[in-house]
Structure 1
């Protein structure tokens, strides 16, 4: 699989974590880092996205569950893989995210290599 053709849109409201995620993915993927829901929507309109990497707590009027449902209800992204990376460690949160349509749920903190490998697995299982 040639990962360079894949674009990952990362939505994370913590600037330090967003920078870390951008750095660990940028060597193998095209990365669109978004610090706010507004920038997320802006890039969503203008970019072809192959995978979303989302936090559950977005620090705005919208949470991760709402955003997952919105993406799943859109014609363009109803099948785009969504990987949630969250500090919400309750099983209930994971079940809610998966029921809303998330493809994978990963708890923070996580090893960088594990995160990259899980994203690769999700993309390998998706037919483009």
Structure 2
């Protein structure tokens, strides 16, 4: 289960690189202030949201399931401390994803305002 979750999280990250690449291409062409840039920014937000859902599902699975005895025996620690470490790591990951989502929402709103101002300036000129 953890392997599948890890693979899906890496896949979300790699899929998010596609919109990032497209945004960098738009910036190189000096066409970043367009509606296309907002669409690619929404793609990055969707990938981060999917990753947050995966982390939440992993946390819920960890709460309901007990960690594998192989992990506990290999680490030489108690079962509850392994659960605490995994839940703590998931909580930190969830907070980092939430911070990234908020930053991207602010950046998207700034991009939309810049697009509106560019359109107004083009109408004046």
Under a length normalisation based on structure 1, what TM-score does the superposition of the two structures give? 0.24
Going by fraction, where is strand more abundant, 1 or 2?
A: 1
Point out which structure has higher relative CO (alpha carbons under 8 A, 6+ apart): 2
Going by fraction, where is helix more abundant, 1 or 2?
A: 2
**Which of the two has higher C-alpha Rg?**
2
